[in-house]
């Protein structure tokens, strides 16, 4: 029980007490875990262990990334992936792999998964400014600073309840329009 008191400037010296309804107890949302793992190959049956990170990979070989919603607390929960970015700390290069659900043509593609509600998979073919023959002279000069750059992955995700409305990320254009993100940094 909560008691409130109030007074009025029109009735000095008078104080009123009244019962205040307590707000309903709100249960905090259950914690949600989204895991990003790198698969050893396109089968997604084996993953590189965290203890062996960072990985040393051959640039001409594709990278297979999987985002998964671990132990969804409610049956109608869906994993949405809005964007994914690969970047280096130095010389500050970045590559947009996925934006608004659209993969970047020639660089990444979405792959089918056994549980598309909770698991999203992506094949990353090449990092354009790292590939030999890059047309960007300044990108080549910056990459010369590192022989084997560490590339980090960052994805923005959302966990949505199908019961609460629209749970979709729709790719309106099919692929990301051409833009040299490495040059924009």
Q: Write down the pLDDT at residue 31.
A: 82
Residues 57 and 46: their CA atoms lie apart, in Å, by 16
Q: What does the radius of gyration of the chain's CA atoms come to, in whole angstroms?
A: 25
Query: Biggest alpha carbon distance in the chain?
Result: 85
Distance set, CA 69 to CA 34, 81, 83, 130 (Å): 5, 11, 16, 31
Helices (H) and strands (E) in the chain, counts: 2, 10
pLDDT band at 130 (very low <50, low <70, confident <90, very high): low
Cis ω for the linkage preceding 54 (within 30 of 0) = yes
Inter-residue contact 171 to 120 (CB < 8 Å): no
Domains of the chain: 28-184 (2.60.40.4100)
Distance set, CA 98 to CA 61, 88, 104, 121, 155 (Å): 19, 17, 6, 11, 9
pLDDT band at 141 (very low <50, low <70, confident <90, very high): low
Residues 111 and 127: their CA atoms lie apart, in Å, by 18
Please report which helix (H) or strand (E) contains residue 182, including its range: helix 181-184
88-123 pLDDT tens trace: 887 678 889 999 888 988 889 999 999 999 999 999
Averaged pLDDT, 5-34 = 74
């Amino acid at each position: 029980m909560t008691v409130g008191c109030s007074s009025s400037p029109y009735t000095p010296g008078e104080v009123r007490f009244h019962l205040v309804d307590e707000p309903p107890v709100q249960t905090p949302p259950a914690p949600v875990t989204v895991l990003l793992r790198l698969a050893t190959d396109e089968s997604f049956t084996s993953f590189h262990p965290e203890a062996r990170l960072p990985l040393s990979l051959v640039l001409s070989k594709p990278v297979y990334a999987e985002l998964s919603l671990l132990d969804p607390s409610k049956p109608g929960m869906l994993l949405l992936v809005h964007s994914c970015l690969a970047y280096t700390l130095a010389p500050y290069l970045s590559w947009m792999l996925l934006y608004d659900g659209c993969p970047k043509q020639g660089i990444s593609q979405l792959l089918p998964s056994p549980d598309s509600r909770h698991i999203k998979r992506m094949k990353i073919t090449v990092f354009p400014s790292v590939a030999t023959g890059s047309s960007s002279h300044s990108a080549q000069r910056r990459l010369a600073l590192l022989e084997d750059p560490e590339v980090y992955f960052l994805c923005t995700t959302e966990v949505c309840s199908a019961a609460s409305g629209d749970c979709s990320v729709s790719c309106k254009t099919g692929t990301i329009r051409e833009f040299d993100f490495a040059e924009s940094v």
